[in-house]
Amino acid sequence: MKRAARVKKRGRAPIATWLTEPMSRDVRAAIERVARLDGVARIAVMPDVHLAVGGCVGMVVATSRRILPQAVGGDIGCGMLAIATDVGADALACPDRSGALLNRLRTAVPAMRHRDLASAPALDGLQPSLLSTASLAKRAEREGRIELGSLGRGNHFLEFQRDEEGRLWLMIHSGSRCMGQAISGAHDANAERAAGGLRCLDAATPAGQAYLNDVAWARAYAAENRRLIANAAGAVLNELIGAALLPETRIECDHNHVRIEAHFGRELLLHRKGAAPAAEGEPGVIPGSMGTESFHTIGRGCADALRSSSHGAGRALTRTEARRRVSPERLERQLGDVAFDTRLADRLCEEAPSAYKDIGGVMRAQRELTRISRRLRPVLVYKGV
């Protein structure tokens, strides 16, 4: 796909793009607004780019010392985990067996939260006291515990998938649950309003350092959340069919963060919102949708892309548009033989495959950024509503 010229226009940072189609006017305006901020060094736009609350998903922003919380988003540390099992995907071919697995997952992996503190996992190793305020630490010790090990709603999911060789894989998409939102809200109060209405923090100030500290904590929380979900799903799978997860096959990446990285001979603050790291040789996971292919990838380390890739297919329809256009019957036709809880079909229409961009086109648009190491198709999908 043709990319935008990498020539810095007067008064704004250079923007490099990898697109499946021209950007909409609203998306272009949102990106230009960021590019004209002081301290923004470069921007890379991924092929899954789309407008979201507070900015664009599928955008990577490099700054010298300015922190842009809206270029990270509220679900800090949201990301992917994939791990193989020791059985073939045909183990879930029986409808009774896949139905039993879906029923057990609803109990083992809560969509939103555990019943209470007594049933919630401990915050082992996360140390809420490391958070920047006592109120955030208190939030972690209660709501953070109750939501730890839960999936979340929207585009978050747990899937069992078949690779090209017929092996069964587990893939999880989830994030920092209530804690990322709480951290974003707490630091928004300390942010200054810059040109274009964007809110900013200075990394050289105590407020900026506090935000970076809490982002690191939220990323650790999100990784622990995915680990617990995988353990719970693996235990259910083992109980039902005697299968085991294979730890040595684990692949994990997160796609909502800000961290210090070296680019173009200098240290920069790299903001990714809906964009995965894709350094040379770095493994990644890029999902499609409920009814389409997903991919395991290896980064190519493209400098102009700020060593990043897309985090998924990206929405083609807003949730409101999808609910209007996709009926439960159409959703079921799109999913074909993928097992899911049909009782939830009317509430899952906004996640229909047709609500997302063509993942094949997205992967072709970013051949310069990442290469495909494995293709997988969904066998069973569990989503929270």
Would you please indicate which residues are annotated as catalytic (active-site) residues? 311
Burial of 291 (0-12, 13-18, 19+ CB in 10 A): buried
Distance CA 187, CA 142 (A): 20
Of the candidates 314, 319, 372, the one whose C-alpha atom is nearest the C-alpha of residue 18 is: 314
Single-letter amino acid code for the residue at 368: E
Which residues are bridge partners to 38 per DSSP?
none
Q: What is the DSSP letter of 122?
A: P
Instruction: Identify the residue whose tokens are 């555990």.
Output: 114
Burial of 80 (0-12, 13-18, 19+ CB in 10 A): buried
Burial of 10 (0-12, 13-18, 19+ CB in 10 A): exposed
Would you mind telling me the total number of residues written for the chain in this entry?
385
The four Cα atoms 159, 163, 167, 172 give a dihedral, to 10 degrees, of -20
CB 58 within 8 A of CB 311: yes
Single-letter amino acid code for the residue at 2: K
Phi, psi of 375 (to 5 degrees): -110, 140
CA atoms within 13 A on the CB side of 26: 9
The secondary structure element, H or E, covering residue 301 is none
Which residues are bridge partners to 370 per DSSP?
299
CB 81 within 8 A of CB 230: yes
Token pair of 54 as six digits: 């507070």
